[in-house]
Amino acid sequence: MDYPELREKLVETIIKGVELNPLLRSAGNCSVRISGGMLIKPSGMTPEEIKPENIALVRFEAFGGGLEGNWEGTDAPSTEWRFHLASYSRPYVNAVVHTHSPHTQAFSCYRKGLPPLSYLNFIMGPDDEIPCTKSFEPAGSDALARQVKELANNGADSMFIANHGFIAYGKTLNQALERARVGEALAQN
């Protein structure tokens, strides 16, 4: 099994992420960049079920080419793998945490960005506003991945996904998870 330490850290982050929405145990996902691809949460498993060997490895070639022959693991990767891969087109991004936490999910239905409300916005990144994707697109779709990639490449360190949830980026999994927590707090205000 490649990347045992990163797999352990990813499982730990998945478990910590449940604090953001304890009612939706398998909702949301996270990933971490590796050489040539990413490690990502498996599809449909609750955090308590996930072991390091369940973490899927997806190669960058899957973006545009599909999963066939471009992933490894005992369990299929999250259905959201496309927007995770799209996020890694930005070199700064080493970790992605995606949540369906209550307040960010509710705010995402406005389909607009969140202006600076407090000093906490600065934890989220250098932008004045936390942006939102332009329109609702089905979960796991290429269209959603394109919208996410556009905002990421425009410098967003976090974003709302219209009528869906929230994405936070980081240089580390800890930084991405903290941005997801702060995003939930800001959306609650």
Q: Which of 48, 80, 129, 178 does the annotation list as catalytic?
A: 80
- CA-CA-CA-CA torsion sign (11, 47, 21, 155): positive
Which phi and psi angles does 33 have, rounded to 5°? -70, 140
In angstroms, how far is CA 155 from the centroid of its own chain?
A: 15
Instruction: Give the pLDDT of residue 22.
Output: 54
DSSP state, 136? -
Q: Rg (Cα) of the chain, in Å, rounded?
A: 15
> What are the average pLDDT values for consecutive 10-residue runs of the chain, which has 189 residues?
91 83 68 95 89 93 74 91 93 93 93 86 74 94 95 93 95 93 89
Beta strands in 24-140 (DSSP E): 29-34, 37-40, 56-59, 71-72, 95-99
- Active site annotation includes 137: no
Instruction: Give the pLDDT of residue 53.
Output: 95
pLDDT digits (tens, 9 = 90+) for 25-60: 556 899 999 999 999 999 988 888 899 999 999 988
Q: Distance (Å, rounded) from C-alpha 115 to C-alpha 131?
A: 9
76 in helix, strand or coil? Answer: coil
Q: Distance (Å, rounded) from C-alpha 126 to C-alpha 110?
A: 22
